[in-house]
Amino acid sequence: MKIVFMGTPDFAVPCLDICYENHEVIGVFTQPDRPKGRGKKLAAPPVKEKALKYGLDIYQPEKLKTPEMVTLLKELAPDCIVVVAYGQLLSKEILDIPERGCVNVHASLLPKYRGASPINWCIVQGEKETGITTMYMDVGLDTGDMIHKDVVSIGDDMSFEELYMALLPMGAQVLAKTLDAIENGSAPRIAQNDEESSYAPLLNKQNTMIDWHKSAGQIHNHIRGLNPIPVALTTYEGDRIKIFVSELTDMKTEQTPGTIINVSKSGLDVATGDGVLRLKEVQFPNGKRLAVSQLILGHNIEIGIVLGQ
């Protein structure tokens, strides 16, 4: 099939590989180069870097919905458009261009966790499994008919980074199976049940802050679901600190939620709304991410301080 590929981050690169190896990629759309790092030098998206290696035609429009881009896509006349974490919505006019439809690779088991941050949110919400879903795109947000799914288990201490790396190759595997089925006319169309849907919004400063009144289990899920990005936040005597790794304990306490009740090489034991959570890796302002066993060598962490105040 002739395919137009749309994607931006490293998560989309294995999917581009699959398209290139098994089909004819006639164009790659990705986000414009953006300033990155301390020097704010322009950096190409990972998908662009791979497309350059393949010698593919690359397009980086600020807006995809312009008449010029719509005309270009019509002239390219793809059999199928494949979208993987592209970062822009497709208009109905674009969705109607390819004869075999627009296919999206989504990192959750739809209809749950529609939206921008499904990998983070399934951990934050304490899910035991997630996966990859491919679907035919429509004008809604991740509402199109499903094609194929694959499932991965989520361990009790699995971080966002670990789950992301598990889903990375799976996305390409499910896409390969999906494109084969579309090409030979055997791809199913499975309608989503909207009543089973939930939304995974973008993470921001408000929903990354730890609420110590929640249970130790809920806070543990919050921390690992945001590790290493965008990272869970709290405050220590007014300074904002980052929490990367935590550990559940069997301890109970009547102390105010957020209170540091013990400091040791094993970690910082903090009271929550239900139980005690041990913080294992943290980062203070202008410092490095450190295990608490290293942190306490150069910081005096006071027992009795209430985090989040």
> What does the DSSP 8-state code read for residue 76?
H
User: 165, 185, 200: which is the final residue of a domain?
Assistant: 200
Q: Which two tokens stand for residue 39?
A: 């020097």
* CATH code at position 19: 3.40.50.170
Same domain for 235 and 221, yes or no, is yes
Same domain for 115 and 229, yes or no, is no
Q: Can you tell me the mean pLDDT for 107-117?
A: 96
User: Model confidence over 253-278: pLDDT tens digits?
Assistant: 999 999 999 999 999 999 999 999 99
User: 200, 231, 251: which is the final residue of a domain?
Assistant: 200
**Cβ-Cβ contacts under 8 Å for 196 (sequence gap 6 or more):** 111, 112
Same domain for 189 and 246, yes or no, is no
User: Model confidence over 132-166: pLDDT tens digits?
Assistant: 999 999 999 999 999 999 999 999 999 999 999 99
Domain that holds residue 182: 2-200
Give the C-alpha distances (Å, rounded to integers) separating 192 from 63, 139, 188, 278: 29, 14, 12, 40
The answer to the question of residue 279 being in a domain is yes
Q: What is the pLDDT of residue 298?
A: 86
Q: What is the pLDDT of residue 38?
A: 77
Helix H or strand E encompassing 279: strand 276-283
Inter-helix orientation angle 13-22/160-184, to 10°: 20
pTM for the predicted model, two decimal places? 0.94
Q: Can you tell me the mean pLDDT for 154-180?
A: 98
The answer to the question of residue 127 being in a domain is yes
The length of the chain in residues reads: 309
Q: For 95-114, b where at least 16 C-beta lie within 10 A, e where not — what string?
A: bebbebbbbbbbbbbbbbbb
| φ/ψ of residue 99, rounded to 5 | -60, -35
Same domain for 222 and 94, yes or no, is no
User: Model confidence over 54-86: pLDDT tens digits?
Assistant: 999 999 999 999 999 999 999 999 999 999 999
CA 221, distance to chain mean position in Å, is: 15
Same domain for 178 and 93, yes or no, is yes
* CATH code at position 215: 3.10.25.10
Tokens 């793809």 correspond to: 78
